[in-house]
Amino acid sequence: MTARNGLRMSTAKAFLKPIRTRKNLNIVTGALAFRIFFEGTRAEGVAYSQVGRQCYASARREVLVCGGAVNSPQLLQLSGIGPAALLREHGIDVVADLPGVGENLQDHYVIGCAYRCTRPVTVNEQSRGLALMREAVKWAVSRRGLLAMSAAHIGAFVKTRPELDSPDVQYHILPASMTQNIAPGKMELDSFPGMTCAPCQLRPQSRGSIHIKSSIPTTPPAIRPNYLTARLDQETVVQSLKIARRLFNAAPLDPWRGAELEPGADVQSDDELLAFARERGNTIYHPVGTCKMGSDPMAVTDAQLRVHGVQNLRVIDASVMPNLVSGNTNAPVIMIAEKAADMIKAAARAA
In the residue annotation, 286 being an active-site residue is answered as yes
Among 325, 291, 323, smallest CA distance to 305 is for 291
For residues 277 and 199, is the Cβ–Cβ distance under 8 A? no
Half-sphere exposure (CA, 13 Å, Cβ side) for 253?
19
CA–CA separation, 260 vs 283, rounded Å?
23
Q: Which of 178, 141, 158, 125 is nearest to 242 (CA)?
A: 158
- Nearest by Cα to 64 from 257, 349, 350, 347: 347
Measured CA to CA, the distance from residue 169 to residue 156 in angstroms comes to 8
Give the integer Cα–Cα distance in Å for 57 and 25.
Answer: 13
Residue 170: C-alpha distances to residues 19, 199, 205, 231, 241 (Å): 39, 6, 16, 19, 11
**Number of other CB atoms surrounding residue 197 within 10 Å:** 24
* Per-position b or e across 302-331, b if 16+ CB within 10 A of its CB: eeebbbbebebbbbbbbbbbeebbebebee
Instruction: Please return the burial class of 77, using the count of CB atoms within 10 Å of its CB with bins 0-12, 13-18 and 19+.
Output: buried
Q: What is the dihedral of CA 336, 312, 38, 17, to 10 degrees?
A: 60
Report the run of H or E that residue 38 belongs to, with start and end. Answer: strand 31-39
Q: Which of 291, 78, 288, 113 is nearest to 199 (CA)?
A: 113
Q: Where are the beta strands (DSSP E) in 108-164?
A: 109-110, 113-117, 154-158
Q: Which of 90, 153, 286, 308 is catalytic?
A: 286
Burial of 192 (0-12, 13-18, 19+ CB in 10 A): middle
- Residues carrying an active site annotation: 286
